[in-house]
Amino acid sequence: MNAGNRSRVLLIEDGALEATVLIEAAERAAPGRFEFAIVATLDGALRKLGRASTDCIVLDLELSGAATPAAVATLRARAPATPLVALGAMGNAGLARAAIRDGADDCLEKSAFDARQLVRTLELALERGAARQRLLEIARRDPLTGLANRAQLDESLAAACARAARSGRLLGLLYLDLDGFKLANDALGHEAGDALLKAIAARFAGQLRAGDLLARPGGDEFAVVLENLPSAECAARVARKLIATLEAPLIVGHEALRIGASAGIAFRPTDGESPAALLRAADRAMYAAKRRGGGRIGCSARLIDLERTRPARAVAVAHA
């Protein structure tokens, strides 16, 4: 919700009179509560959702040229947590049920609602949307470290690949596995192991740009999605920085522990076009680094030697 407690509502309505009636009704019942943006087509709405933040969507189910109720499913796929209120013709219960089934939070009859009912419907939809967003965030977060989990990594990497395909910019994926973590975890117990993981996550997060995604896919593995890289060497620098953060001992209880890390780097499009290909390549590079004793950075053999000045710490990985 934006400043001043005004909720931004995207109204998808191709009838100028109907749009005016609805906006004026909302303003009468709740002056200044909503800020409306009007688009006349589903395509226009999808473009708007890609450019601007929206708190709530209101869709006319009788929109010209829209395959309703497929329009509801399309909008829900684009904005899974955003509340959506449908507007239908009086007496068309079948269309209303289909809209609810496809993801609408509520459906109002266009010629039957009054101003108070409209505002109440919008407020309830906003509450449901906020609850849905909280559940989505919980489902996409690692409960131990608060980082993105594997589900969010997969989702974010897919989106990053799509953006890289459009822009032609270099996309990098780092995959890191901790060296010596299992020994410490077995010796000190899982509680100490959890404390280690949280401390390491905090150190890694402090080395990244605001737009970089840091994830813990599971166990003692971490991943970083690096978009819009100027060069492959930039990803190598990030990997070196992350490994270097672990040179200082980690204090857990009364123990000072030294945990290292091995990193694998994969790039789009050098190592593949898809998220799955990048994950496989980065994982393969990381395990090659571990096999060479850990504390190293693995990369594709198709790339220049990213660690040319530090050959002892570089591992080249041949493609299968």
Does one domain contain both 135 and 220? no
CATH number at residue 274: 3.30.70.270
Question: What is the average per-residue pLDDT within 246-254?
Answer: 86
Alpha carbon distances (Å) from 2 to 26, 74, 157, 168, 290: 17, 25, 28, 33, 48
In this prediction, what percent of the chain has a pLDDT beyond 90?
54
Structure tokens given for 103:
């993801």
Which residue numbers are catalytic? 220
Residue 180 lies in a domain: yes
Return the pLDDT at 255: 80
Number of domains in the chain: 2
Residues 77 and 135 in one domain: yes
pTM higher than 0.75: no
Residue 144 within a domain: no
Query: Does a structural domain hold residue 122?
Result: yes
Q: Is the pLDDT of residue 51 over 90?
A: no
> What is the enclosing helix (H) or strand (E) of 317?
strand 314-317
Same domain, residue pair 159 and 287: yes
* Residue 1 clears pLDDT 50, i.e. is over it: no
Specify the 3-state DSSP secondary structure of 109: strand
Strands, E assignment, 73-200: 84-88, 106-109, 170-179
At residue 5 the predicted structure's pLDDT band, cuts being 50, 70 and 90, is: confident
At which of 85, 108, 139 does a domain end?
Answer: 139
How far apart are alpha carbons 10 and 130 in whole angstroms? 16
For residues 103 and 191, membership in a common domain is answered with no
Q: Cis peptide before 83, with omega less than 30 degrees from 0?
A: no
306: which 2 tokens? 């990213």
At a CB cut-off of 8 Å and minimum separation 6, what does 135 contact?
Answer: none
**Which residue segment(s) compose the domain that 251 sits in?**
150-317
Whether the predicted pLDDT of 8 surpasses 60 = yes
Instruction: Measure the CA–CA gap between 319 and 317, rounded to whole angstroms.
Output: 6
Q: What's the pLDDT band for 4 if we cut at 50, 70, 90?
A: low
